[in-house]
């Protein structure tokens, strides 16, 4: 992992915008290829979380204007097709993945389908809001989708498997969505602390079957109503399913790696399963509003800030779990 000089991006399609990044960051999902869990056969540009100021727009862009501060998601989407209108912009019929091709970890980036993809803030933000606005781009939007997919809400007991930035944001989301009880599964003190700040009412340190037993203990033997899976491994997914009561909901947002679900267990579990690549765009207007009005502070997940050219240290710190999430300033 290194920082290097690359040509500045330019408008290619008339629906493109060029933005100058105010901040970018390292995603937990970037650790999969970093650790070799995803095959990497040639050099990749990486980075798919971004917020910044529009510098230029293509001729067909009508709502996004130069000078605006904008946030977008890791998939560009037209936001007009039937799938987008149903709220699944990450499965947009015209989606384009950013990151490996889009290189959001840079000074400038090209965003396709700018009108559909980008959401502008009401005005230029104060500098201290930028980490939280950047968080809406992926980790908050993803944790939020996990909580929505798990049907977190009033009267519900919500458990969150995974104490990375997404899991912590799922705790924040569950709190905002009105959950009655929020159980964070974490064995790291600094993350337990942040989970509490975000609204967790209980901390469970056990994992696997012991973690499931602990959740059952806390819920009269029934399991939680809603469980968010924010890891992506077989162990975490089974922990999530088994921690959910019959009729309850599992929202899974960890990128699943090597996970296989046995049909007979799923059948008898009686849970609802929903998840996948979070359609962050669906939630961006609401999340930006909450950040703008200082109702939430998801930027607290960034516990390390580095200049962009020290990106390699950001990966190392997250890989070694010294940092929850590294923010990079171009």
Half-sphere exposure of 155 (CA within 13 A, CB side): 1
Binding mask 159-198 toward a second copy (x if CB under 8 A, else -) reads ----------------------------------------
Give the alpha-carbon dihedral of 105, 138, 235, 261, to 10 degrees: -110
Positive or negative torsion for Cα 233, 238, 244, 247: positive
Kindly tell me which of 88 and 315 has the beta carbon lying closer to a second copy.
88
Mapped onto helix, strand or coil, the DSSP state of residue 87 is: coil
Among 2, 5, 260, 295, binds a second copy (CB under 8 A): 260
Among 91, 94, 121, 190, binds a second copy (CB under 8 A): 91
Q: What are phi and psi of 267, to 5 degrees?
A: -60, -50
Alpha-carbon gap, residue 41 to 33, rounded angstroms: 10
Contact flag: residue 269 with a second copy (CB under 8 A): yes
Among 14, 66, 246, 307, binds a second copy (CB under 8 A): 246
Contact flag: residue 88 with a second copy (CB under 8 A): yes
Contact flag: residue 268 with a second copy (CB under 8 A): yes
Token pair for 276: 């996948």
Kindly tell me which of 120 and 222 has the beta carbon lying closer to a second copy.
222
Contact flag: residue 147 with a second copy (CB under 8 A): no
Query: Within 10 A of 122 (CB to CB), how many other CB atoms are there?
Result: 11
Contact between residue 113 and residue 63 where contact means Cβ atoms under 8 Å apart: no
Q: Find the shortest distance in angstroms from Cβ 256 to a second copy.
A: 3
Contact flag: residue 245 with a second copy (CB under 8 A): yes
Mapped onto helix, strand or coil, the DSSP state of residue 273 is: strand
Contact flag: residue 222 with a second copy (CB under 8 A): yes
DSSP state string for 121-169? -SSPPPGGGHHHHHHHTTHHHHHHHHHHHTT--BT-EEEEE--SHHHHH
Binding mask 271-300 toward a second copy (x if CB under 8 A, else -) reads xxxxxxx-----------------------
Contact flag: residue 270 with a second copy (CB under 8 A): yes
Q: Find the shortest distance in angstroms from Cβ 67 to a second copy.
A: 34
Query: Within 10 A of 102 (CB to CB), how many other CB atoms are there?
Result: 24
Among 115, 261, 292, 316, binds a second copy (CB under 8 A): 261
Across-strand partners of 299?
Answer: none
Token pair for 153: 């809400």
Instruction: Return the range that interacts with a second copy (CB under 8 A); candidates 80-88, 106-114, 191-199, 299-307.
Output: 80-88
Contact positions vs a second copy (CB under 8 A): 82-83, 86-88, 90-91, 93, 220-222, 232, 234, 237, 245-247, 252, 255-264, 266-277
């Amino acid at each position: 992992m290194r920082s290097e000089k690359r040509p500045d991006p330019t408008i290619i399609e008339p629906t493109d915008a060029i933005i100058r990044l105010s901040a970018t960051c390292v995603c937990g999902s970037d650790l999969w290829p970093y650790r070799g869990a995803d095959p990497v056969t040639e050099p990749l540009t990486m980075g798919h979380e971004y917020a910044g100021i529009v510098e230029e727009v293509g001729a067909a862009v009508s709502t996004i204007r130069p000078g605006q501060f904008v946030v977008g998601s890791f998939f560009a989407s037209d936001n007009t097709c039937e799938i987008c209108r149903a709220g699944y912009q990450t499965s947009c019929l015209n989606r384009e993945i950013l990151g490996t091709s889009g290189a959001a970890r840079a000074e400038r980036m090209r965003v396709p389908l700018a009108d559909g993809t980008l959401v502008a803030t009401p005005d230029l933000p104060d500098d201290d809001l930028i980490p939280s606005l950047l968080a809406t781009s992926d980790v908050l939007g993803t944790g939020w989708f996990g909580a929505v997919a798990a049907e977190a809400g009033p009267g519900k007991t919500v458990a969150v498997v995974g104490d990375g930035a997404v899991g912590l944001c799922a705790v924040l989301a569950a709190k905002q969505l009105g959950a009655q009880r929020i159980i964070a599964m974490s064995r790291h003190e600094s993350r337990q602390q942040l989970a509490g700040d975000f609204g967790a009412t209980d901390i469970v340190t056990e994992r696997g079957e012991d973690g499931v037993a602990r959740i059952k203990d806390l819920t009269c033997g029934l399991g939680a109503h809603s469980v968010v899976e924010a890891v992506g491994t077989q162990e975490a997914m089974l922990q999530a399913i088994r921690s959910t009561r019959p009729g309850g909901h599992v929202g899974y947002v960890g990128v699943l790696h090597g996970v296989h679900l046995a049909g007979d267990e799923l059948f008898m579990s009686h849970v609802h399963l929903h998840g996948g690549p979070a359609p962050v765009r669906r939630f961006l207007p609401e999340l930006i509003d909450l950040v703008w009005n200082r109702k939430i502070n998801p930027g607290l997940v960034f516990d390390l800030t580095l200049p962009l050219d020290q990106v390699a240290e950001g990966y190392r710190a997250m890989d070694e779990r010294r940092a929850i999430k590294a923010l990079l300033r171009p």
